[in-house]
Structures are given as C-alpha cells and as structure tokens.
A and B are shown apart, each in its own frame.
Chain A
Amino acid sequence: MDLTRVEVWIGALLTLMIFSFLYKDNVFYKFAEHLFVGVSAAYWMVVGVHTTIIPNLLGKLWPRAAAVWLPAAGEWEMDLWFLIPLVFGLLLLTRLLKKVGYLSRWSMGLIIGYAAGTNLIRYLQSDFMSQISHTMIPLFVKDGGGGLAFGETFSNGILFFGTICGLVYFFFSAEHKGILRPMSRIGIWVLMVTFGASFGYTVMARISLLTGRVQYLLRDWLGVI
C-alpha cells in the first residue's frame, strides 16, 4: 500500500472536515479540531523533550543516559552547573501545588528578569534609537544633475511629516488646539491608512493560505491540476 496516498487522503479529508464549519458547526469539524489540538500538544511535548530536555539537561547532567537518544552526547562531559536550571525548572512546577506554589515565583522572577533585560536592549537599540536616527532624512533630495529629485523628496516628506503627525496624535500633555489640531488630524489619517494597509495584507495572507489548501486538494489529492 502506498502510504503517501494514505497520508494525502487523510490530509484531504481533514481539510474538508475543517471547511465544513463554513456551512454549519458539525461533528466532523469538532472531531478534526480536537484531533488537531491533541496532536499539536503531543507534538510540541515530544519536540520539547528531544530538543531541550535531552540535549540541554539530561545530556549535561547524565551524558551516558542521553546517548540513548542522542549518540553525540556519549562524548560529552558531565556539567553540574546544569543542576541550577534543573532546580528552577522543578520549582516552576510547584505552581501546581497549593501549599508550596509560592516557590514558583523564584523561577518566574528569573524568567521575567531575563526577558526584561534582553527586551530592554533590543527595543531600545533597534526600535527606539535606530528608528529615530533613520527618520532623520533629507527633506530635499537632489538628483545626479543637481536638480530636485521629486519622487524621493515627496517620499521623504511623507515619511517625516507622517511620523511627526502620528506622534502628535499620541501626545496628550497638551490640548490639541492651534497647530496641534491639524497635525493630530493628519496623524489620525496616517494611522488609518496604515491600519487599512495592514488589514489588506491580512486578507492577502488568508487568501494565500486558502489557495495553498485548495491547491493541495486539487493537485495532490485529486490530481486535476
């Protein structure tokens, strides 16, 4: 029996079961949905064990045991420093026990502290300082002949004034009157255009995924294209 065909049939039938929800909720859709949730949970658990627990914990604390699943671990040396993450990992699980659940706060503190530390650097550097410096662009761009490059000048102007006006909209320390009022209104328009573009992209993404599924049904399953 060609197992590839069995796999394609299973994929096609599950796809149609999911699509059946578009007509009405039904037992076939529920079955496919529950199957997906169950298989996903199991898959990620197995991936977590084989890509993190075995190489990064068992392989460091007991390499010979880890070598059963990861032959390369047989040559590793024991590293007892990894007892620290083992303890913190077990402390995290105490969350499930009411009496000692407070101990999990130690692990949560470490996780949150690490996340805060790395995120501070990356957002400060990439999303704050770099973005500010890259918005400092020439408002009048010259072309090769010394004249004004209208396309780039217009584009830079939109970028600069659009950014300023968008920021003014979110500036609540002063009432939006006088010059701030029209700038704020322009900022709203800039934001709405951005949201519209984002929505359009989202529609494109969903249609792309639908097209991919339909292609699977017509090409891989039915073979009509």
Chain B
Amino acid sequence: MAGGKRDWVYKLSRLDRRIIFFLIGLSVVVPLLIGLVLPVFTSPIVQNMFDRIESLPPGSRVLLSCDYGPSTAPENQPMAESITRHALARDCRLYIVSLWATGAGQIELLQDQVLRTEFEGKEEGVDWVNLGYKAGNQGLINAILLDLKAMYSTDVRGTSTGSIPMMEGVANLTDMDLIVGIGSGFPGVKEWIQFAGDRGDIPITGGVTAVEAPLLYPYYPKQLLGLMGGLQGAAEYETALIKAYPRFRQTAVNAVRLMGPQAVAHTLIALLVILGNVMFFMERRREGKRS
C-alpha cells in the first residue's frame, strides 16, 4: 500500500474472483448472442488427418470409435459429426463402435442428427453400421484385433453381424483401412494406438479433448497420422471439410461457431494474466522501496 492508502494497485491485485468469473461469463455469452464467427485456418496436423480420409478410395472401411460422453460432447461431438460426413461423402463404409458406455448415447445423436438426416441415401448395414458399446476397454481392442465378430455378434439393433452385408469380409481390425478414435480419456485414442495401431499396423487418427491432446502429440506423425486437438481441432477440420465439400457449409459449423467465444475468452484470460503479473511486480517494487 502506497502511503497507507488502498490505491488502485492494491485493489486490482486483490480483485474479487467473482468479478473475474462474471467477466469470463460475459466473454462467452456476448459473442454467442451477437453470433461472432472468426476465420479458422487448418493446421498441418489436422490437414494430414483430412488428407488421409480424402485419399481413401470408395468402399474403404473406416472404424469410428466414439469414446466420450455428454461431459465432453461440446468438443467431441463436432469431431464425430465431421468424420461421419467426410467418410460418407467419400463413400467409405463406416463402422461405429464405442469403448465408453456413455458413447452409445452420443452415437444415437450422431445417427439422428447426421446419418438419418443428411445421408438418407446411405443405407444402414450397407454403408454404415452401429455396433454399439462393448465393455472391456483395451481388452476389447485386443480381442477384436484377432476376431471382431466374436465380440460383436450383433449390431446395436440385435441383427446378427453375420447377416449384415458390410460385415462380410471383416474378420478383425486389420481389415479396417483406417481407425478414427474420438476420445476424452481412458480408454481412448492412446489405447487404439497402443493395442491396434502399433500391434496390428493399422493406420490411426483421432480427435481428443484439449486436455488430452498434448499427451498424444508425441505419437504424431508416425504412430498417429493426424489429430484434432480440442474444439480448435474440430473447427479446423470443419473448415477443411467445408472447403472441399461446400454442401456442408450450413451443417458442419458447430465448432467454428464456438470459436468466437473461445477467442474472446482467451484474450480476456491473457489480459488478466498480464495484468496480474504487472500488479505483482509493481507491488514488489513498492515493497522494495519501503524496505
């Protein structure tokens, strides 16, 4: 305190955290209300993933594993939707599974909001199949690496996998041309890399929450062909998707729309961190002068 007074430096360095919470809240609410949308540019790590799917010939088998739940849906659901749109736009055959119990609900949302509305011409059992959730974590991956139908005897509707047309010729995971894991923890993309990618020599890509992304970067680019990291990664993939397939301009924008509030909130946080540091050094200098 300068001269015993509680001046602005003193007050600012002891700002009530509830004011900060309020400002963060405003920084998210206002951009959403005004519809702030900022340009997003696709980074190489996401572009590699996009290019890999783009290079798949029609009829390729893509396994999409939705290993997340409602708690991380804002980050992961746009990723799963983008992969679904891209794979089906390339006329790939999409096999949807989940290692998480809560993933089954997210797959249902994917079916209702993307598969059955935007791809009405694609047939269940011929172009895409929902094999659902199975317990077992990495043990399940181990098992389906050798025999997929032993674990998935039916799809989620109860139809025998022996009678599903697109399951013909699929003995195990090595018959997949690409595995895409969308995850938010254990089990997730890391387990797909360790138990399927490295052991079965199967190409793996994925999308994870921002918290997990730094843990997976060491696997890129040899063990992991590409990675969507958090909402930013999802927005980058949507940008690449819209650029290649303009027909998704109205639908594949969920993550891009949320980047506006993201940018404003991050800017506010950066300013508060700088302010905090300035206040810290100013107070320390005053303490030094007094002593």
Contact = CB atoms under 8 A, between A and B. Distances in A.
B261 interface: yes
A202 B218 contact: no
Interface string B221-243: 01100000111100000000000
A209 B198 contact: no
A225 interface: yes
Contact-residue bracket for chain B? 35 or more
A213 B29 CA distance: 10
Contacts of A48: 135
A202 B153 contact: no
B213 interface: yes
Interface residues of A, number: 39
Given A126-B198, A202-B210, A210 B24 contact: yes
B18 interface: yes
Contact of A197 (B71, B74, B214): B214
A211 B258 contact: yes
Contact of B210 (A22, A23, A194, A205): A205
A49 B97 CA distance: 20
Interface stretch (B52-60, B106-114, B262-270): B262-270
A22 B258 contact: no
Given A209-B74, A209-B75, A214-B29, A204 B262 contact: yes
A48 B74 CA distance: 26
A224 B269 CA distance: 26
Q: Which of A198, A205, A224 has the most chain B CB atoms closer than 10 A to its own CB?
A: A205
A134 interface: yes
A212 B230 CA distance: 13
A218 B223 CA distance: 41
A74 to B, nearest CB: 12
Interface string B247-272: 00000000000100110011001000
Contact of B222 (A22, A56, A134): A134
A126 B133 contact: no
Contact of A72 (B139, B154, B210, B232): B154
Contacts, number: 115
B193 interface: yes
B35 interface: yes
B32 A72 contact: no
A146 B223 CA distance: 28
B209 interface: yes
A183 B73 CA distance: 42
Interface in B146-171: 153-154, 158
B175 to A, nearest CB: 22
A28 B194 CA distance: 44
Contacts of A26: none
A126 B193 contact: yes
Given A130-B223, A212-B73, A212-B258, A225 B32 contact: yes
19 contacts: A22-B18, A51-B133, A130-B223, A204-B232, A205-B75, A207-B266, A208-B75, A209-B75, A210-B265, A211-B28, A211-B74, A211-B231, A211-B258, A212-B75, A215-B32, A218-B32, A218-B33, A225-B33, A225-B35
Given A22-B21, A201-B211, 9 more contacts: A51-B135, A122-B195, A122-B198, A126-B198, A207-B262, A207-B269, A212-B73, A214-B25, A214-B28
Interface of A: 22-23, 44, 47-48, 51-52, 56, 71-72, 118, 122-123, 125-127, 130-131, 134, 194, 197-198, 201-205, 207-215, 218, 224-225
